[in-house]
Structure 1
Amino acid sequence: MRVVVPVTSPFRASHSAAASSAGTAADARAVIGRHLAHWSLQRLTDDALLVVTELLSNAVRHGKPPWSVSMWLTSHEDGRRYVRLEVADAGAGIDINLIRARWRHPSCSLMDGGRGLFIVDTLASSWGNGRTSHGHTVWAELEVKPGSPGGGRAPSD
């Protein structure tokens, strides 16, 4: 099962990319929060909002417009469920293996940047990226733990 929620329509930078992305990030967080509550997945709200904020901030800072945000609720064949967040942009993308190798290097300092994806790496069950015909998408999956408070129900829409 896959329920896709288009959190934002693709949007372009206006006079100020920062102002445009701030408004869109707030809108995306509101939509995500509402859908997680509707799906009884409130326990994931803080992590999901932080992850989407980091992914969208990176897309605006390093990518190219248009940007878009999507959220999926997926059920895998093994019964595990995930909330998948995706942020797409028209940029060339990033080398995730290089980023992860940098984190493992003894001289790595997150003081110079890279904290956002490190946070995503910490909170998400898995994350990655991929090229599309229109650019680049970075995704993160948050696992819905069964039996926990806010563990969720299957969506009816």
Structure 2
Amino acid sequence: MRVVVPVLPPFWAGHSEAASSAGAAAGARAVIGRHLAGWGLQSLTDDALLVVTELLVNAVRYGKPPWNISMWLMSREGGRRYVRLEVADAGAGIDINLIRARWRHPSSSLMDGGRGLFIVDTLASSWGNGHSSHGHTVWAELEVEPDAPGGGPPPSG
């Protein structure tokens, strides 16, 4: 089962890139919070809002417009469920393996950047990226605990 929620339509930087990304982040957080509540997954709200904010900030800072945010509710075999958050942009993307290698390297420091993705890495059950002819997408998955309320199917409609 896959339920795709287009959190925001693609948007471009307006008069102020910071104002556009701040407004988009606020709008995305509101939509995500409403859908998680509707699915009975309020326990994921704080983590999901932090993850999507970090992914969007990186897309606006390092990517190219338009930016797009999506959220999926997915089920795996065996009934395991997760929420997948995706932030896409038209840029070339980043090297996720290089970022992860910097975290493991003793001479590397999070003071030079990478803290946002480190937070994503900590909160998400998995995350990664993908490239296409249209740009770059970074995704993160938050697993729904089996005994979490709302463990049934999402509401229809």
**Partner AA of 2:51 in structure 1:** V
Counterpart-to-counterpart distance in 1, 2:77 and 2:144: 14
User: Aligned residue for 2:20?
Assistant: 20
User: Aligned residue for 1:125?
Assistant: 125
Counterpart-to-counterpart distance in 2, 1:153 and 1:17: 40
Counterpart-to-counterpart distance in 1, 2:139 and 2:152: 23
User: Aligned residue for 2:111?
Assistant: 111
Counterpart-to-counterpart distance in 1, 2:8 and 2:16: 18
User: Aligned residue for 2:152?
Assistant: 153
RMSD: 0.9
1:6-155 equivalent positions in 2, closer than 5 A? 6-148=6-148, 150-155=149-154
**Partner AA of 1:20 in structure 2:** S
Identity, in percent, stands at 82
TM-score relative to the length of structure 1 = 0.97
Moved runs in structure 1, 4+ residues, more than 2 A?
A: 150-153
Give unmatched runs, 5+ long, in structure 2: none
Q: Which secondary structure does the structure 2 equivalent of 1:37 belong to?
A: helix
Q: Which secondary structure does the structure 2 equivalent of 1:47 belong to?
A: helix
Aligned length: 156
Q: Deviations over 1:96-125 (max 9, x none)?
A: 110000000001211121100000000000
TM-score relative to the length of structure 2 = 0.97
Is 2:91–2:135's contact at 8 Å kept on the other side of the alignment?
yes
Give unmatched runs, 5+ long, in structure 1: none
Q: Which secondary structure does the structure 2 equivalent of 1:82 belong to?
A: strand
